[in-house]
Structures are given as C-alpha cells and as structure tokens.
Structure 1
Amino acid sequence: MTCPPDRVYEEIAYISYHFHWRLADVLDLEHAQRARFVREIARLNERINGESGEKGHDDRGW
C-alpha cells in the first residue's frame, strides 16, 4: 500500500518542524518509521500540553 502524497508531506513537515531534521534525513525514513516518529511527537506534545494546561496546536489528531 502506498501512502498518499499529501500525507507524506504532512508527516515530513511535522517531523521536520519538531525535530529540526533536514529534508533529506526525513525522506530517507521508511513510511513506518515516519509514522512512528509522528506518533511519538504527538505523544510528547500531548504530555507537555497536558502538564501546562494548554491546548495543542495540531488539528489532525497527531
């Protein structure tokens, strides 16, 4: 199964924004790896936002 291009762009932007990784480094990841990093970033954001009482800025459910 192929990941839709829009989803790939979202994953790349999300990971790059939060980890400050270069595009080439993120593109080298397999989809499963990118998806795992997306989940982990979302989990970290939820924990941080929960501790500070702020709402997250992400509307995609990440």
Structure 2
Amino acid sequence: MILDYVSDCKHDTEPGCAVKAALESGELSLERYNLYKSLSNENTKNYARKKYQNGQRLQRR
C-alpha cells in the first residue's frame, strides 16, 4: 500500500514522495502513474473551465 502524507504533494518532483518511490521500486506501474497524471490534468482543466463559466454567469446578472 502506498501512503503519501504530504497533503499538497503533486507526485512529481517533491522529495520524499511515496508515489515516486513506488514507481522506482516497481510497486506502481508507469502506466497507472501516467493515467493518474492525465486524470489530474483533466480535472484541473475542468475546474478552471467551470470556474470561468460561473464567473461569466455572475457578470451577466
């Protein structure tokens, strides 16, 4: 089981990241890590788009 106690860890370049350690040890596959990164990026874009759309609605009132 992978436990990462740093709440704002992006699992990219942070020192002591358990996810990166699991990648290096083979406990976590590169395919699964890449899927996580892809989903994370998609979520960030969707959040930004939704925030922008909500801001546009507020300005129209």
TM-score bracket for the superposition, by shorter chain length: 0.3 to 0.5
Q: TM-score, normalised by structure 1?
A: 0.46
The structure with more radius of gyration: 2
RCO higher in structure (CA 8 A, sep ≥6): 1
